[in-house]
Structure formats: structure tokens, C-alpha cells
Amino acid sequence: MEIKKLNIVISLGLVAIIGILIAQLLWTKQAYNLEDRKFNQKVNIALMEVVEKMSEGKTSFTENPVQIIANDYYVVNINNEFHPSVLEHYLKTEFTRFQINTDYVYALYNCHSDQMIYGKYMTQHQEEPSEKVIQFPKHKNLTYYFSIRFPDKTTYLISSLRFWYLLTFALIIILLVYVYSIYTIIQQKKFSELQRDFINNMTHEFKTPLSSILLASESLNKQEIVQENQKLKTYTSIIINQSFKLNNHIEKILNIAKNDVSGLSLKPQKIILLPFIEEIAENIKQKNENVSIIVNIEDHISVVADEFHFTNIIFNLIENSIKYCETKPEIIISSDKDSKGLYLKFKDNGMGIPAKSINHIFDKFYRVNANKSDEINGFGLGLFYVKKVVQQHGWKIFVENNTDKGITVTLFIPF
């Protein structure tokens, strides 16, 4: 994906999530205000019922006897003498009936002392708060009245809206995860491009002097004095062979860097497995005379694959088995199948792979930490290339250590 398109997608996603979060916060605020009005209405009706029952219908009011002085503070005009125990009884009864399940405290006005007499703290819990002091100011122009406060009203309303707050919290978490993921993607893309540019520049700078070395070496090898001197001829051959090997490594790095961007170009065709693998095995045995390669595959089995890349897969797997063997290499290539697909197995008698490294052997530039690995030249790109080709074909590859010695690499080719 191009940087411009990626930035557009990131920006649209960020705007969408921030918009949803803002809408959620507005809905939560509206829900809180609605719950607050609902609570005030219930308290107002409950206190009206208390006034009605305490006055026994004898007192008539020209205006509402319940006044909301503050968000959690109510003043109730009785306009008649009343007893504190009776008031407490009716408060409990009406608040229970209207499901007002939060702590409250009331105080009565004493006209003789011209003071508010602190009443009782009515709590939903077993113990009363001993240190909590609630202020009850006097109210002018009223004689027989009481005041009531709800000290935990805000907490009560928030607890009744916990679903909304949980949802808002979840959205905030999603937004943070999204921002972190986008930041990680951008960083990884930046590092990937930096790495690819470095590889391209490095390999390009290597190829120019390497081509000169090859040309000079081949020209030197044709000289009569070199042809007559066996020692000089051997040294020249070593220079040429090692230059070709280094050139192959550079080409492999270049191809992988290019394929990271555009992907592999595959030309699938039908391949009969037995003669195809036997030919590769013969070519390898000609270079390595002490290698034993046994091919146990039925004659009629075939796969649809890119011939060039499939050949490279077989070469890589067999050569790895040879390189990482401390005795005479013995490789058994066999096939098995079930209702899902074909299993092509490469079993060797090599040194095996440590359990902690077996999940990383297909990673780019990864090499197993072992003495044998240090002796073998390479960049850790062979199995990375194999995994990439396998994935582009829609296949799977597995590696496991054998119970006795070596490893078994399994290619799964679905039908």
C-alpha cells in the first residue's frame, strides 16, 4: 500500500473513532442528566407523599412544599407540627416505595432555638458514617419544615449508569490500541523501507567490484603461465568459484528485496514428482559423492507449481540437510496423502534444531546458533525464500526434530 493511501486510511479511521468517542461521551452526559432529572422527580413525588401523610390532608398549599435548593439538598415545608420519629417512618416508607436506594440525612428546624436540629443519617449499609458532617443552613420564612440531603447522589447516579461508562471506557481503550497499532505499522514500514534501500545499495555496490574480479580472474586463468603452473591454476579456480558463490548470494538478496515489494512471479505448470526430484537428487549427488538420497514417491503423483521456484525449494532443503550433517548425509524423500492433500517429506540424519530455534528458522537473516552454523557461509535467506515460495503457492511447510537424529521438513500441498 502506498504511503499516501495508508495515510488516508489512518486519518479516516482515526476521525471515525474520535467521532464515535465524542458521540459516546455526549450520550453518556445526556444519560446522566436524564437520570438526574428522573431522580429529582422521584424524590419530589416521594416527599410530596410524606407531606400529604404527615398533614393528613388538613393543610393546603398554594405552592409546591418541596423546594430544590441545591443538586442534593431539598427543603420540605410541613406547615404543621410533627414528630421526628413519624417523619423518619414516612421517609423510609416512601423512599422504599419509589426505589430511592441511596444514603440520605435529614434535619428539622426548631423554632424555639431557631436552629436546625441534626436528624439521622439513613444509610443502605450496616454502619453509619461517624465522621461525615452534613451542613444544613436555615431557611427564611418557614416555621415547620425539615431539610434532606443526599451526600452520595453523584456516586449513586454514576453507578446506575455503569454500562454507559464501561462502554465509554472500552471505546477509549480501542482508540488507544488503534493509535498504538497505527504507530507500530508506520514504524515497521519505515524500518522495512530503510532495510530494503540498504540492501539494494549494498548489493549494487558489491556487484560492480565483483564483476571486475570475475573478469580479471577468468582472463588470468586463460594465461599460458597460469595453465602451466598447477598451483596458480588452483588459486585462480578458487577465486573464480568463490566469486561465483558470492555473486549468487548477492543475486538472492536482490531477488528477495525485490520480491518483498512486488511478490514472486509464478508460472504454474503440472510437474510429475518422481522424475523431477530424482533429477535434482542426481545433480546434487554428482557434486557430493558421499551423499545418500532415497526417493520413495509413487510414479503417478503430480503437483501444479512454478518449475523454477519449486526446483529451488528442493535444492535448498536437500543442501541444508547436507550442510548441517556431521556424518555421512542420508536423506529420505517420501510422500503421503490424505483427504486434505499431499505431504512431501524430507527426512535427514543431521544435527537437528534446538527447540527454542525451530519456530524462527524461516525468519529473514536468522541462523541457528551452533558451532556447525558458524562454519557454514550464508546469510540466513535460504529457508526464508523457501517459506515465501511455499506461501505464494498456497502451501504450508512444517519442521520437526526426529526422535533419533536430524529433522523432517514437510511440505503440505492441499488438493
| Type of residue numbered 146 | F
Q: Are strands 292-296 and 145-149 parallel, antiparallel or unpaired?
A: unpaired
Q: Exposed, middle or buried: residue 31 (CB in 10 Å: 0-12, 13-18, 19+)?
A: middle
Q: Rounded to whole angstroms, how far apart are CA atoms 5 and 13?
A: 12
Residue 212 and residue 153 share a domain:
no
Residue-wise pLDDT tens digits, 269-295: 999 999 999 888 888 887 777 888 889
pLDDT of residue 127: 54
Considering its fold, how many domains does the chain have in total?
3
Q: Rounded to whole angstroms, how far apart are CA atoms 16 and 8?
A: 12
pLDDT of residue 345: 92
Q: Rounded to whole angstroms, how far apart are CA atoms 353 and 367?
A: 11
Residue 126 and residue 45 share a domain:
yes
Question: 172 in a domain, yes or no?
Answer: no
Question: 323 in a domain, yes or no?
Answer: yes
Question: 175 in a domain, yes or no?
Answer: no
| CB half-sphere exposure, 2, CA atoms < 13 A | 3
Residue 407 and residue 343 share a domain:
yes
CB atoms within 10 A of CB 62: 5
Could you tell me which of 364, 345, 354 has the C-alpha nearest to residue 297?
345
Could you tell me which of 103, 193, 199, 202 has the C-alpha nearest to residue 154?
103
Residue 275 and residue 222 share a domain:
no
Residue 151 and residue 83 share a domain:
yes
Residue 291, domain CATH: 3.30.565.10
pLDDT of residue 133: 63
Tens of pLDDT, residue by residue, the chain (415 residues): 456 777 777 778 778 878 887 887 788 788 888 888 888 888 888 888 888 888 776 666 667 788 888 888 888 888 777 777 888 888 888 888 888 888 888 888 776 666 777 677 777 665 555 455 666 777 777 777 788 888 888 888 878 777 777 877 887 888 788 778 877 877 777 777 776 777 667 666 777 787 788 788 888 888 888 788 888 888 888 888 777 777 776 766 666 666 655 566 778 899 999 999 988 888 888 777 788 888 998 888 889 998 888 888 888 888 888 888 888 889 999 988 888 889 999 999 888 888 888 887 887 767 776 555 545 555 567 788 888 888 888 899 988 988 888 889 999 999 8
Domain boundary residue, one of 214, 240, 262: 262
Domain boundary residue, one of 106, 126, 160: 160
pLDDT of residue 344: 92
- Locus of grid cell 473513532: 17
pLDDT of residue 124: 67
Q: Exposed, middle or buried: residue 255 (CB in 10 Å: 0-12, 13-18, 19+)?
A: middle
pLDDT of residue 105: 85
pLDDT of residue 169: 81
Question: 85 in a domain, yes or no?
Answer: yes
Residue 212 and residue 301 share a domain:
no
Domain that holds residue 238: 182-262
pTM listed for this prediction:
0.46
Question: 170 in a domain, yes or no?
Answer: no
pLDDT of residue 300: 86
